[in-house]
């Protein structure tokens, strides 16, 4: 599937999907890599090493630095997929060196969480094992 590349590089991991936007400032703990926002669909789940797919970011621009802190702590997602990238998440992904893409076709939404996917931020493509 082809979308738009935002942050270069390649990352592979299990797909973790949220239908809700994510605020990295106060929504994700950079010391644990866990979503801590009360009532969020991913509350209590770790994003570390997973391909994190969510519509877009929300909250303060400090969220970019939280993404960077996650990377420095070894707890960042392997890649980020957004429906539509916005500056907070894009800047965070770029400064942290996390591959990021957006604008994937609608068939992406049919992939079940846990599917092992590879995100190529250079080409804007996501691939997965169709036999798994």
Give the phi and the psi of residue 120 in degrees, each rounded to 5. -110, 100
Q: Give me the residue label for tokens 């969220």.
A: 63
User: Which residue in 26, 60, 64, 106 is the catalytic one?
Assistant: 60
CA–CA distance, 98 with 126 (Å, rounded to integer): 14
Tell me whether residue 60 is one of the annotated catalytic residues: yes
Residue 99, C-beta contacts closer than 8 angstroms, at least 6 positions apart: 7, 8, 9, 10, 11, 78, 79, 80, 93, 119, 120, 121
Q: Give me the residue label for tokens 């169709």.
A: 130
* Contact call for residues 125 and 116 (beta carbons, < 8 A): no
Catalytic residues: 60
């Amino acid at each position: 599937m082809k979308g738009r590349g935002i942050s270069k590089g390649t990352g592979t991991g299990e797909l973790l999907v949220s239908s809700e936007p994510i605020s990295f400032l106060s929504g994700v703990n950079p010391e644990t890599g866990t979503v801590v926002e009360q009532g969020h669909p991913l509350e209590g789940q770790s994003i570390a090493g997973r391909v994190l797919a969510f519509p877009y970011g929300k909250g303060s621009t400090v969220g970019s630095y939280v993404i960077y802190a996650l990377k420095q702590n070894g707890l960042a997602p392997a890649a980020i997929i957004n429906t539509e990238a916005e500056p907070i998440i894009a800047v965070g992904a770029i400064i942290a060196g996390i591959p990021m893409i957006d604008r994937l076709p609608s068939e992406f939404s049919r992939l079940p969480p846990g599917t092992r996917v590879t995100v190529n931020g250079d080409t804007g493509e996501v691939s997965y094992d169709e036999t798994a």
